[in-house]
Amino acid sequence: MKIPSAIWTLLIGIVLTLVSIWYGQNHGLLPTAASDEAPLVDELFNAMMTVSTGIFLIVECVLIYSVIKYRRRAGDNEDGLPIEGNVPLEILWTAIPAIIVLGISIYSFDVYTNIGGFDPHGGHGSPMMEESMTMPGTAMAATLDHRSGNTATPVQFSEQQKTSPPQLTVDVTGLQYAWLFTYPETGVTTGELHLPIGKTVEINMTANDVIHAFWIPEFRIKQDAIPGRQTNLRFTPRKAGDYELICAELCGPYHGAMKTQVVVETQEAFDQWMQEQLVASKDTPNQAVAMNPLDITSDEFLSPYTKEMGINSEILHQIK
């Protein structure tokens, strides 16, 4: 019995869809999701992964099939068929990716506005926020979500959560090659970012010298710190733990070393840590800052790295 090609196409389509959906949910490429914003970004990533897996499989399967099926047989020295193109097919394979790309961009924009986007302060019930609740992107996002077979409930941001003032504000300064954190309420300055679990944080950042980027992969947030300008981020840490804050903008030869720790802890632990910082800064006013490479010469700061790279401080001076 010969199976009609329509049935074959349908079967292959079903298998491709199932494999894509499964891989879109089980790629295991993302680190722990440690903030309230992270699940939204992950859903978007999973949806894109599902679409990409489907396209990858279609392209590779057709390619491998054609290479085997239409290979040159022994003794066949004829020219190939003079095929002139196929307009309907070209329209189809332009239209489908265009629709996919448009859908993903609307969905991305929706996630972007949902996690703060153009208005990280969220203080004045901005029209952008309201709009995002009713814009067609929401429907599109829901469709994509449904297609990717997502059952996890995305975090719902209540209007109150979006518009209320942050529960904690931290001023962040990026400089070659360190991060400085100032807690305006207590005046404490540290080189490590401590945050209480479940409290909405607003980060006001700037840079002293060149552009840096504040990136915490586990929170799925990234924002440029720009000299002479303030940028903001708003997020809510949800999982206790130590995470890495990484500079994500090539800012000089030691950009790769511009990392620090983010500690998410209970309110009690946070309060205790803050108290310790206050005591320490009272004892020696510069102590908190001395943890950072500000007070040491650049040679001292760079020596651990230069040793690794096999250069000594004389060479370093010559470069300067």
Q: How far is CA 310 from CA 88, 94, 252, 293, 299, in A?
A: 61, 53, 19, 21, 14
Find all residues with CB under 8 Å of 162, minimum gap 6, and list them: 122, 129
DSSP 260: E
- Least separation in angstroms between CB 296 and ligand CUA: 18
Asked if residue 41 binds ligand CUA (CB under 6 A), the reply is no
Closest CB to ligand CUA among residues 177, 270: 177
Residue 212 interacts with ligand CUA (CB under 6 A)? Answer: yes
51: contact with ligand CUA by CB under 6 A: no
Query: Which amino acid is residue 43, in one-letter code?
Result: E
Q: Does 251 bind ligand CUA (CB under 6 A)?
A: yes
Task: Outline where the chain has alpha helix (H).
Answer: 5-26, 38-69, 87-114, 127-134, 136-147, 159-163, 267-283, 287-290, 298-309, 313-319
Q: By CB under 6 A, is residue 302 in contact with ligand CUA?
A: no
CB of 251 to ligand CUA, least distance (A): 3
Strands 221-225 and 212-216: antiparallel
Options 95-103, 129-137, 193-201, 245-253: segment touching ligand CUA (CB under 6 A): 245-253
In the complex, the smallest distance separating the C-beta of residue 315 from ligand CUA, rounded to whole angstroms, is 22
Q: Return the residues of window 165-204 that contact ligand CUA according to CB under 6 A.
A: 174, 177
Helix axes 127-134, 87-114, angle to 10 degrees: 130
Per CB under 6 A, the segment of 37-45, 196-204, 244-252, 311-319 that binds ligand CUA is: 244-252
Binder among 43, 110, 218, 249 for ligand CUA (CB under 6 A)? 249
**Shortest gap between Cβ of 262 and ligand CUA (angstroms)?**
16
Contacts of 7 (CB under 8 A, 6+ apart): none
Task: Give the residues across from 174 on adjacent strands.
Answer: 179, 207
Residues near ligand CUA (CB under 6 A), total:
9
Binding mask 224-243 for ligand CUA (x = CB under 6 A): --------------------
Closest listed residue to residue 175, CA positions, set 199, 198, 206: 206
Q: Does 258 bind ligand CUA (CB under 6 A)?
A: yes
247: contact with ligand CUA by CB under 6 A: yes
Q: Is the CB of 21 or the CB of 258 nearer to ligand CUA?
A: 258
d(CA 223, CA 203): 10
Nearer to ligand CUA among residue 126 and residue 231 (C-beta): 231
212 versus 234: smaller Cβ distance to ligand CUA: 212
Mapping DSSP to helix (H, G, I), strand (E, B) and coil, where does residue 67 land?
helix
Q: Which residues bind ligand CUA (CB under 6 A)?
A: 174, 177, 212, 247, 249-251, 255, 258
